[in-house]
Each structure stands twice: as structure tokens, then as C-alpha cells.
Structure 1
């Protein structure tokens, strides 16, 4: 081991594996309320080094950075580069208070030595969100957490803690007045550890808690019930992964405690399989609650619908209910007619036939309070039948559904169903070609599908042609997931050509074997597309895949709208994947700059971003998230700021320092400037903020 000066010299002279550039360790944080940190000017350089720890430094909130997981195959990284990058990460967190999010996987860095990780966090100045996966947390490390005085979100997943660490956690949580959310998915929870954890949580200011179902096992359940009954701060509680084998006596104390608790507003029990007796007890308790507004629960018993039907009919405080039950929902019909307060209802069953939903839909048509109903896993013989049924009953705007066809394997939805639909990798089935052709023809009839997932063992030429026609013509489809094991080059070319013609899709997921001509088509798909925000390109074979990734990396340079690109992790494509990641970081930062302008900031850089993205749905959604606007309010905000940019272009673009105004002459006559203002606006329509040079250009 060399001296500190030798180590510093070595670090300063280490070159990036991508561009041979070096890091300037003298670049401190310049973040302030009115100024962005200077590190934002070249995030690419820092990520060229952090790549070697499978970490990524990116803008996660306006002017706020986060260290999140990257896309590097660590098996290809040398030890020396690994260590240098780890030291850089340590330095970044110490020096830069603009880094507010830190997410780390145990197997992704050299921080298996918890003392080093603890030192990193102890020296950090601005961490507000901390997520650690697959760590064993010692007492010493837990003590370090107390130094994170600004921490708002703490997430510890798939990890473990020593008994002494649990005992010390109470003192730590008392030192975190800003903590709002805690998620603990810890393993090997003994009774003593559970009691220590609950004792610590009593001193916690967090209003949201997510814990593993192991906290309800055996004696743990009674301990948790005692804590929960007396708690006066929690507003949201999630209890995850409660398996069928857990006995009723483990769950019932918690449900009785719910009756006593006075503050809880949202209860989520995902992956918790409640028996009929437990579901009935839950319904009885919730029916008496006036504070609980949202309930999400899974019940696997055949009597589930009837049990929760009682809740829908009698409860007067719940505004949102989500249940996963048995195949039938007809038992809910009578209750739906009675309820006058509920706003949202979600029912996800194993497989619903369209016939079994008729009584429910008739009741819903009579209900005046329910604004939105989500129905999942409706089995159809051909696409569109259920939607036509909704139109017939006048419910197509109030019901969001997810339908499926078994052969071929197709899922359809009239609303975005989330990552579960687009990210699913169904096992492709060998369907009869005639059946596939028939279903593909039917897809073109109901134009209301927003989410579509198709999985085929073999994509023949006719199926490819029919799907291409649908993809190129639909104007409402937003998300598509296509998985094909085999397909000839002409059918795949048809699919890609159809995608290139589409102007409505915001996300595309492809799991296919690429041919020689597909690489160019993938580049053409993303180069000028303004609607796509997310694309996943996976391939079980490396053959030709590197060409596809290369074309994507080249074409994406001209795309400012895509925010997420997921690819297969092949070491051969590392340079291209890094280039893609860098473009995604650029686009994300541009979106956040556009948000800043829409919310009132007015730098030239922000105006350029806003002018580029003002028509993007991503800007609307990000404003809804950060400004807490409704969809209408976000669009109105964008409209007003666009008008502001029109009238104040000269000032915003930096041509003049103050507002351009027209003053009347001595005789108070109307001057040409006033008359020509509309003409100026016409000229302005041909100009963009980016057209105005920052410095005068010498002739």
C-alpha cells in the first residue's frame, strides 16, 4: 500500500475506459437555492468511472442527483478499476450535498465492509432517500444512520440485522425527525428482534410503514398488534408476503388492533392470503372505521366476493377498495347498488368470463358514486367483445379492464395496466396459425386497446402482416409487448415497419431473435419518434444483437423524448449500452429542466427544454407528480408558460436584458413597433430559443 499522496496521484491519473479522460477531484459542490451544482455540466465523465461499480449518477429530481444501480457486468471489471471507482463514490457522497438519493446492492460494490459504507454515509451531507439491498446490518452501521438527519425515506430489503443493531435502532430513529417513510423487508425475525424493532418504531416519526409478514408470525403477531393499536403517527401501512400456511391466530390480533387504531388511512395487504374467517373479521373491523379510506387486500377463499360484498354494502368511509378474489364477482352486484360513498373499486380475479360480469355491470350502471372500476383477467374468445358490452351499458369510460385470450397468448387493456403487463415474459405457446390469423384480424376492429401483450412461439408471414397493419393504423395504443421465439425475416420486418409508422405508442417491449436487417429498422424506429418514452429490447441470442444495440446507440443521440431503454446485459455491448444510458440521463435532465420552466423558473437552458418538450405527455405526468397538479391543471400551466415564452422570447433567449416595451412618442402617436407586434410574433414562430447564440458570432 502506497502513501496517501501516491494513492491520490494514482486516482487523479486514472483514465476512463471509454474516453481516457481523468477526474478532477477539486470539483466541489456549488449547489444553492439559486444555483445548480457545477457537477451537472458533465455527468457523463463521472459515470464513465462509476460504471465500474455498477452505479449511475443521474438527476432524479430538479437539480437533485441520485446514485442508483447501473448496467455493468462486474465480472469484466478489474480489481484496480473497481477500487478506484469505489473511492470516487465515497468522495462524491462526502463532497456533494446535491446527491440526495443513494441506492446500493450488496453484490454491486466493494462495500461489503460495512464500516466503509458507514463512513461514506456518515460523511454525506444531503441524503434524503436511502435504499440498501441484501446487506447484514451491524450495530455500528445502524449507529451511522443516526447521522442522516435529513433522511426522509429508508428502505432495507432482503437483508438482516443483528440483535444489537435492533436494540440500537430506537436511538437512531429518534434522531431522524424528517423521516416520512420506512420499508423493512428483513429476514430471520425472532420474537426478540421483532420486539426490538417495534420498540424502535414507537419513536419513529414516519407516517408510512411497509414490513414483511414475518412480523405477524406466532408471538410476533401479538407484539405487532400491541404496537399498532397504540400507534398515533402511521397513516399508511403495508404488510407484505403473508403465506397461506400462517395460522389465523397469527393474523387476528393484528386485525383486532386495527379496530383500536385511530389514525390509519390506508391499509395494504398484498400477497397476504386471508382465509374466509380472517377476511370476515377484517370486513367487520373496517365497517366500523371512520378514518380508513383505502383498503387493498387479497383473499383466496371461494367466499371472498360475498364477504367483501358485505363491506361494500355497509361501509360509509372507504373511498377506495382493491380485492383479489375467486372467479366470481356476481355476489358484489347487490352491494354495488347500495353503496353511495365509494369512488374507486378494483377487482382482480383468476379468470372472469364476460357472462359472469353482466349482473355486476348492470348494478354498476345504477351506482352514481363509483367513478372508476378496474376489472382484471377477463377471459375472451376474441378481442373486443367485453368492450362492446361496456359500450352497450354506457360504462366504457368508467371501467378499466384487462382481458386475456388463452390461444394465442394475448393480453389487452383499455388503460395502462402497469409494468406487470408490459414486463411479463409469457412462455410462448404453439397456437394454430388459423387461430392466430383470426385473432390478429379482430385486433383491428376494437380501436380502444391502450395496452397489448402478444406472445407467440412462431410468427408467420401472415400474422406479421396483420399485426403490422394494426400497429401502423391504431391511434390509441400506448403500450405493446411482443415476444416471439421464432419468426422469419419478412414477418419481423413487417412488425418493425408497423412500429415505425405508429405515432401513439409510449412504450414498446420486444423479446425476439433479430435478423440481419432488423438493426437498421430499430435505429429508424427511435431516431425521430416523439411519442416513445420507454423501450425494452431483449434477445435470447447474441447473434446480431450487438448490431441492434449499436444502431440504437447511434440513433438515440437525435431523440430527446425517450427516458428509459432496457437491454440484455451482454459484455460485448458495454460501450454502446453506456452511450444509451448517457442519452437517457440527458433526456431525463432535459425533462426536469422543462418542468422547472413550467413551474416558473426562467433560464435559457430551461426554456430550450420546455420548447422542445411542451407537447410531451411525459411533461404533463411529471408536473402532476412534482407540482401535484391534476391533468387539466398541468396542461393549463403548460399553455400559460408557452404564451409567456411567446411574448417574452427576446428576454428569455438573452437578446435583451429587460422586457421589450413600446413607448409612445412625444405626440402620443402610435408607433410602428405597436402595429408590428403581431408581425413580430409571426417572425418569432420561425425561431427557437436554441437558435439564439449565447455569445455574439463574429462575421
Structure 2
């Protein structure tokens, strides 16, 4: 391995360490970590949740610490590190020394540190060269650790992102951290939970409100509600943001929204001139004590008092580009009025409706078609099928569907669903949760036929249970073989979730997948409920997933303009992957058609002879050949049609880099 040799990364060149990532990860996996490419040519050491963690000897722990130390101090391609008490162990001083000397460390995430390790980290923080992101997930805070955090917040000239999640702590510590934030002028992205405003009797709420009111550097704010019924905390946050004219993205998660907060939110949206993104994530509505009334309005006609504030806000707002909203509290007329307003908006490009009442889905889909908003309005998580004929044939706007035998106890709707799905090209995600008694021969056959023949499904979740207890397919070898064949053959399926209850089923699936998984360039995510000690086969699949995620990321950056050879290699390998389309959409803020167009254009950008040879590093400008005495044709003489024929069998990666 090349960790003790200097970094060889450069413009358009990968460090030699990239050749050894699988070998590195065989080491780091044993301490539940993985080295992963997070941006082209740049690496992160990340926590592996669910990875096998072996009981290592002290000597082995020293090897891990030494390996990580040299990786940190010698490799500028390492930009991000996640550490916990397990990887730090008894060698936190050595690793902290490496962190303080890491030449290009941009992100540091600290998780559940022991007191000694936290103190060591606190001393190292001010010595770090130019950290840009600090994430704390720490139960225990004390004077020494908080002092180190506050010193960094107050003095840094590079920190852009600060995130903190914690349990209850003394008010003096939350106040100290907030005072540190007040002194900071560089942070543009902040993620906190409502515990930063506790306890109720402390000045923390006032300090935080003043920070939000006066801050002009912050661009993105994400607040998580720690407990139910925190409407008062949310009101303080929203009132403070009324005076903020710099924030461009606001994300509120896990809050329960009452009438007062809805009025504040819609007032903020109506008046604000800087917000481009507003997202209510996993937020719910409290039941209003007031009965909704019907309002006669000039612009919207007759609408209910529930939806009216939202219609007014979205009509007045001219800057919002992205919106995420739970619409389960609205009736179908409200939702249709909402869709109508979205159609008239010239600024909203991406609207995600996370929840709808199932009885309203048909009317919502019809409204989306009538007002031509299908390109930028998305219906969120799986809509549960109750009437499969209506849902699957009329609601083409619903791409994520689910069937749960707890919600639908009859067998016939499941039979109809599985019979119709092969003809449903719009369904890209399917979540099937059924009692084992449903899985008789006919249903199993229909399921097998669907998932082995589909060319559009991207995400599949299968859960088969008995009563309240989830169980595996057990000896149903045919079903597991079906999953394996689907993964091997599909160029669309990039996410598979399999929830067996016993160890043997997970082992069987992994054993079969591991033999052929390296030839697959589609699978990005595989989730299992039993994975703690699945051994080498699980590592093989995880390593392939890491490779695929890196290729999709490189390809997306190539599409967006990064013309490195290794990025061109990636786009040739994964141009068909649906996740690449999604990634380009995220980076370009574009719809699916534009993303597909960009991908096609990027592939064509190096199809011609000169373009290909430049991208492969063979020539600087164009291909020229010296004249031959025998008059035979040379490469430049074969003509465009012949070259394009050859090009079908030639990839950029086939041209080896000089050693």
C-alpha cells in the first residue's frame, strides 16, 4: 500500500492510493470505517453503519492508528474524516496529531468520543489548517471540549458548515457555543436541533433568536425538532427569521405545526426576498381547533381557509425555487387549488409533496396533467395501493408505489397489482410488505415475472412477515435466486432492500451476489436487516457499491464540465445508471429531460477522433500522421464513419496512462 509515500494527486490525476482502496478498506472495515471517494480525486474516511467490527488485539489497533496517521499527514487527497471512540481507541493522541497536520482536511465529524479523546480533539481543533465543515454528534460536553469548539468558531477564517446534535446538556455550554457562533463571520450553513434553545429558563433561546435575526453570512439553516409539541420554539425561530434578509435555504424537520406557526411560515414566504429553498421534512400538522371556512377570493375563487395562506404566499413570493410540503391535512379541492397556483409560478422548479391522503391521489394526478406541472411537481414517498386499477392506470404521476397487506387484507388487489405492474413504465420504486400467507405459488410467480423482466424499476423493497414478526424467505431458494438474477440483469435497479429475519437467508443472498457483482455497474445501495457479521461476501458487495458510487459521482461532474480522463471513463461505464440522471438534476437544478440531454451531449463530446484522443491523453490538440512511403492508409485517412464504427468497441479507459 502507498500510504507512507507522498500523495501523487494533481490536476486531472488520481493519487496512486486509489489503486489500493479495496486493500485499505479491508483494514478499516474491521474498525467499522471505509475510505470512499466523495468528489473527483478526493477521499473521505467515513463511518460504516452495520459493518462487521472485529475484536482486535492491541497490536492490531496500533496498526490501524499508524495507517490512519500516515494517510492523514501525507495525502492531500484526504479531505474528510469521521472518527469515533472505536477508531481512536487508546491512540487518540497520534490520530489527533495527524488531524492537525492533515494538509487538506476540509471536513471533520466527531461521534461519541470518550472524555480523553474529546479533550485531545479540542486541543487539535485550533491547529487544523483550514477546516471547512465541523459536525458534532456528541452526548458528553464538558468545559475543555466546549472551549475548544468555541475557540475554533470564534477564530476560524475557513469554517463554512457547522452541525451539532446532542442530548440535554448544561445551559452554560449551549450559551458558550451560541456566543462562539455570534463571533463567527464565515459559517454559511448551520444544522442544529432545538436542544440548543434549552433549558427553557436559560438565555439560550434569546441568544439564538438574536443570532438568526442579525446574521448576514448564513445561507442555509436546518433545524430539527428534538421533541413533540415544540411549537413555541419554532415560533421564536420564525419570528427571528422575519428580520433576516440573507438566508437562501430553510429546512425544518420533525416539527408539529399548529395554526400560529403556519401563519408565521406563510407570512415569511410572502415577505422574504432571498429564500430559494423551503423544505418541511417529516413535519406533521396539529389538529386545528377552528373549523375551516370557505373564502371567496379575487385571484383563486372559492378556497378553504386552510389552503388560502399558502396560495397567497406562493403567489407573492418570486424567489422560491424549491419547496417540500406535507399536504395530508388538505382536502382534494385544497390540493387542486395548490396545483393551479404552482402552474402559474414562474420561479418554482421543484415541488415535492411528501404526503397525500390516498383518496385524493387520483384528483391530484388529474390536476397535475391538466395544469402541465408533471415536470416539476413530485409526489413523494410510496403511495399505498388500495385500488390497483385506478392507481396504476390513471395515476401515471405516481412513480413510487407500495402494497401492504396490513392496509389491504384481501389477496385480489395484490394479484391485480402484480399483473398490471409489468405494463407500468412510470413506476420506478416498489415497496412490497406482505404476510407470508399471501406468497403462494401464483403470487410468487407474478412477482418473479415482474422483477426479473422490468426495465424501469430502480428501487425495490421486499418484506415478508408472519403476524407482527418479520421473517426471511427461509428456504425459498427460488425467490432469492430471483433477486440475484434481477440484480445481475437490470441496468435500472440501483437500490435493493431485503429484510430477512434469519441469518441464513442473508448469507445465501450475499453468497450468490458476490460471485458476479463486480460485473454490475448499476447497484448502489443494498440494505439488509442482518448484516453485523456477514463476513467477506458482505465486504465484497460493499466494496463494489463504493466503486459504483464513485463512478456515478465522477460521471456527474464530467457532465457538469469537469473534463478529466478518469471522469470520462466513468461516464462511459455508468451513463445508463438512473442515479446519474438524478445526480445531474441535483447539480444542474434541471428537470429529467434536460439531465438526460446533458448526459447524451457529454458522451458525444469525445466521440470524434481528435476529441477522443485528446480526452485519452494521446495528443494535445489533434491527430496527425507522418506520410508513409508505401502509401497505405493511416488512422487519419480512415474517414469518420470507419472511426465511429471502431469507436463503438473502444473506451477511454482502454488507453492506459503512462506509468
Rounded Cα–Cα distance in structure 1 between residues aligned with 2:654 and 2:95: 47
C-alpha deviation, 1:59, in angstroms:
1.6
* Alignment counterpart, residue 216 of structure 2, candidates 220, 229, 232: 232
Match of 1:54 among 32, 39, 49: 32
| Contact map agreement 2:32 2:53 (CA 8 A) in 1 | yes
**Helix, strand or coil at the partner of 1:74:** coil
Query: Structure 1 393/264 Cα, relative in aligned 2: closer, same or farther at 3 Å?
Result: closer
C-alpha distance 167-279 of structure 1, shift in aligned 2 (>3 A): farther
Aligned to 1:502: none
Rounded Cα–Cα distance in structure 2 between residues aligned with 1:117 and 1:150: 17
**Match in the other structure for 2:263:** 280
Residue number among 91, 101, 112 corresponding to 1:123 in the alignment: 101
Do the aligned partners of 2:137 and 2:165 also contact (CA within 8 Å) in 1?
A: yes
Counterpart position of 1:481: 461
Find the residue that maps to 1:32 and give its secondary structure: coil
Query: Structure 1 pair 48/174, CA: closer, same or farther in 2 (3 Å)?
Result: same
d(CA) in 2 for partners of 1:74, 1:607 = 36
* 2:490 is the alignment partner of 1:529: yes
Structure 1 residue runs of 5 or longer lacking an equivalent are 1-22, 315-326, 488-509
Matches within 5 A, 1:90-169: 90-106=69-85, 108-111=86-89, 115-135=93-113, 138-169=118-149
Change (3 A) 1:526 1:78: farther
Q: Distance in 1 between matches of 2:451 and 2:3?
A: 50
Seen in structure 2, the aligned counterparts of structure 1 residues 305 and 524 have a Cα distance that, compared at 3 Å, is farther
Residue 42 of structure 1 aligns to a residue in which SS? helix
Residue in 1 aligned with 2:173?
193
SS at match of 2:99: helix
| Pairing 1:516–2:477 present | yes
Task: Please give the alpha-carbon distance, in whole angstroms, between the structure 1 residues aligned to 2:2 and 2:348.
Answer: 59
Secondary structure of 2:70's match? helix
CA RMSD of aligned residues (A): 4.5
1:462 aligns with 2:448: no
> CA-to-partner distance for each residue in 1:330-357, whole Å, 9 max, x for gaps?
5568648955736555431447665764
Say yes or no: does 1:211 pair with 2:196. no
In 2, the alpha carbon distance for the partners of 1:72 and 1:88 equals: 19
* Counterpart secondary structure, 2:46: strand
Secondary structure of the residue aligned to 1:146 is: helix
Q: Are 2:279 and 2:323, in contact at CA under 8 Å, matched by a contact in 1?
A: no
Which stretch has the larger CA shift, 456-465 or 294-303? Answer: 294-303
Residues 54 and 474 of structure 1: CA distance in aligned 2, closer, same or farther (over 3 Å): closer
Asked if structure 2 preserves the Cα contact closer than 8 Å seen for 1:486 and 1:512, the reply is no
Tell me the CA shift for residue 208 of structure 1. 1.1
Q: State the aligned residue count.
A: 629
* SS of equivalent residue, structure 1 residue 243: coil
Q: What's the TM-score, normalizing by structure 2?
A: 0.80
SS state at 2:255 partner: strand
* CA distance, structure 2, for counterparts of residue 287 and residue 555 of structure 1: 55
Alignment match, 2:650: 688
Report deviation, 1:574: 0.8
CA 1:517–1:235 in structure 2 vs 1: closer, same or farther (change >3 Å)? same
| Matched residue, 2:286 | 301
Partners of 1:190 and 1:41 in 2: how far apart? 48
**2:437 is the alignment partner of 1:453:** no
Deviation by residue 1:239-289 (Cα, 9 ceiling, x = unmatched):
2115345473x5554443323333223332212234433443454455444
What SS does the aligned partner of 1:109 have?
A: helix
Partner of residue 504 from structure 2, selected from 543, 554, 560: 543
Which of 378, 381, 387 is the matching residue for 1:400? 378
CA contact (8 A) 1:268 1:295 kept: yes
1:257 aligns with 2:219: no
Separation of aligned partners in 1, 2:196 and 2:298: 32
The Cα shift of 1:467 comes to 4.1
Q: In the alignment, which of 645, 665, 690 is matched to residue 607 of structure 2?
A: 645
TM-score, L = length of structure 1? 0.76
Superposition deviation, residue 82 in structure 1: 3.9
Identify which of 599, 624, 630 aligns with 1:661: 624
Instruction: Give the deviation of 1:482 after TM superposition.
Output: 2.5
In 2, the alpha carbon distance for the partners of 1:337 and 1:286 equals: 7
Specify the SS of the correspondent of 1:53.
coil
DSSP-derived class of the 2:443 partner: helix
CA shift, 1:80, in A, is 4.0
Would you say 1:576 and 2:537 are equivalent positions? yes
Q: Which has the higher contact order (CA 8 A, sep 6+)?
A: 2
How many Å separate the matches in 2 of 1:170 and 1:104? Answer: 20
Q: Shift in Å at residue 183 of structure 1? A: 0.6
Which residue of 425, 434, 440 corresponds with 2:412?
434
Residue 67 of structure 1 pairs with residue 45 of structure 2 = yes
- After alignment, is 406-415 or 167-176 more displaced? 406-415
Pair 1:677–1:24, CA change in 2 (3 A): closer
For residues 435-485 of structure 1, the C-alpha deviation after alignment (integer angstroms, 9 at most, x for no partner) is 433444565676533333221113233333444555466665433322222
Inter-CA distance 361–522: structure 2 relative to 1 (3 Å threshold): closer
CA distance in 2, matches of 1:654, 1:396: 43
* CA shift in 2, pair 1:555/1:694, >3 Å: same
> CA–CA distance in 1 between the matches of 2:552 and 2:371?
41
